[in-house]
Structure 1
């Protein structure tokens, strides 16, 4: 099983990797769900992870709040993706929605193109879409070479043990086209149960490893 640890800045990366993390999701400001780190943090985190046989996923999010972004914010995100690419980051994670809760395919296509060569992950903006829109979004993301969708299976206020049914439906919908990565409330205590129930091989969390 691959355990992806969400961290804030560089501080806990050495301990997380020493405790068994093989992939790091690099964030600033986890209190609002994560935003993009500084160039310096991204550079040092990537170098350290690569020196210790771990990969890095950089959060691309210019602010907390919703996932509806204006043109200036999209330019910021695009510039941050270019920076991540230049620094050798393995993957970037982002999500853009329309005001009515659908995937903003035009903006997503623009950012996916900017990522050229890096893996692209759809983050939990996916969960902010109505469930009725998620199947179409899975197909679009898979068709545009997005490799994973990070999902809690429902609102973060609902324990993940109560969203496993919907997560299971998403896993079935995705099939072998794209990976559903369960996250949000996944801990060292419950991760084995979650991956067994869902039949997945990887999971994500801030507390997925004890360190």
Structure 2
């Protein structure tokens, strides 16, 4: 089982690594679903995790709230991506949508171009897409060499055991072309049963490992 742990700041990283985290997603402000960590935090986390050979995913999100960004916000995200590149970050997580619940293709193309050399994760902005647009979104992300889609299968207010059927649909439709990474409500108590029900080997959560964030 490959466990990706979402952490806020640097403080939880050594414990997460010690307890067997396979990959770290570094955020600031998890209370709003995670935003971009500061340069100093990112620098130390990257250095530490490179020494431990544990991959790092950096959240690229300039603020909480929706995923509809203006040109200035896209520019900020682009600058953060160039910084991540310089530091040797393994992967970056971002997503940009239009007001009508579709992928903001222009913004995404700009951000993907700024991510050269790093793995790309389309984060839970996926769950804010209009349901009818999700299959097309998967196709678009595959065509643009995005590596993973992080999804809860529905609004975060709905427990994950009620959204597993949706996640299964996305996995079946993706058909191995892109990794669907279930998250949001996956914890150390339910991780095995969720993995079994969905037939997946990679999962994501803040509390996916006992003793980290809980």
Deviations 1:88-131 (A, max 9, x none): 10000000000000000110011000000100000000000111
Q: Which residue of 2 aligns with 1:106?
A: 106
Q: Which residue of 2 aligns with 1:125?
A: 125
The residue correspondences of 1:1-211 to structure 2 (distance < 5 A) are: 1-211=1-211
Equivalences, count? 211
State the 1:193 CA deviation. Answer: 0.7
Unmatched 5+ stretches in structure 2? none
**TM-score, normalising length from structure 1?**
0.99
Quote the Cα distance in structure 1 between the aligned partners of 2:176 and 2:8.
Answer: 31
State the 1:24 CA deviation. Answer: 0.3
Deviations 1:182-209 (A, max 9, x none): 0000000000011111111100000000
SS for the counterpart of 1:81 is helix
Unmatched 5+ stretches in structure 1? none
Quote the Cα distance in structure 1 between the aligned partners of 2:70 and 2:184.
Answer: 27
Quote the Cα distance in structure 1 between the aligned partners of 2:51 and 2:61.
Answer: 26
User: Which 4+ runs in 1 deviate beyond 6 A?
Assistant: none
SS for the counterpart of 2:3 is strand
Quote the Cα distance in structure 1 between the aligned partners of 2:82 and 2:33.
Answer: 22
**1:22–1:53 Cα contact (<8 Å) kept:** no
C-alpha RMSD of the superposition: 0.5
**TM-score, normalising length from structure 2?**
0.98
Quote the Cα distance in structure 1 between the aligned partners of 2:10 and 2:60.
Answer: 16
Deviations 1:50-87 (A, max 9, x none): 11121000000000000000000000000000000100
